[in-house]
């Protein structure tokens, strides 16, 4: 009986150790900055001022997690009526 308990204890410790290692690696990749996860896309709410007051709008923002630079995704028509989609850097 003691031999079986010892084997069960060793197996439980191995399973616990593997789970702990897996958790530590997932936490490192989630919170550490890597090239694969360098940019984050966020949806944000902003108020646009106009000559007639202001209007609320939802926008998509891209944040560089290494430098802190931020861009906003804009879509609209240029002077020739052509559809334009682009990222516009905002801030400093």
Over residues 25-81, the pLDDT tens digits come to 665 545 555 556 788 898 988 887 888 888 888 889 999 988 889 999 988 898 899
State pTM to two decimals. 0.51
**Residue 13: pLDDT over 80:** no
Rg over alpha carbons for the chain, rounded to the nearest Å, is 25
> Is residue 18 very low, low, confident or very high in pLDDT (cuts 50, 70, 90)?
low
Over residues 26-40, the pLDDT tens digits come to 655 455 555 567 888
Distances (CA, A) of 33 to 28, 37, 53, 81: 9, 7, 41, 40
Q: How far is residue 69 CA from its own chain's centroid?
A: 14
Calpha distance 6→4 (Å, rounded): 5
């Amino acid at each position: 009986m003691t031999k079986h308990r010892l084997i069960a204890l060793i197996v439980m410790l191995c399973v616990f150790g593997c789970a702990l290692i897996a958790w530590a690696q997932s936490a490192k990749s989630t919170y550490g900055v890597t090239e694969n996860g360098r940019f984050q896309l966020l949806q944000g709410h902003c108020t646009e001022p106009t000559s007639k007051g202001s209007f609320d709008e939802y926008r998509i923002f891209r944040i560089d997690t290494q430098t802190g630079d931020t861009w906003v995704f804009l879509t609209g028509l240029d002077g020739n009526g052509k559809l334009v989609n682009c990222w516009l850097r905002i801030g400093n």
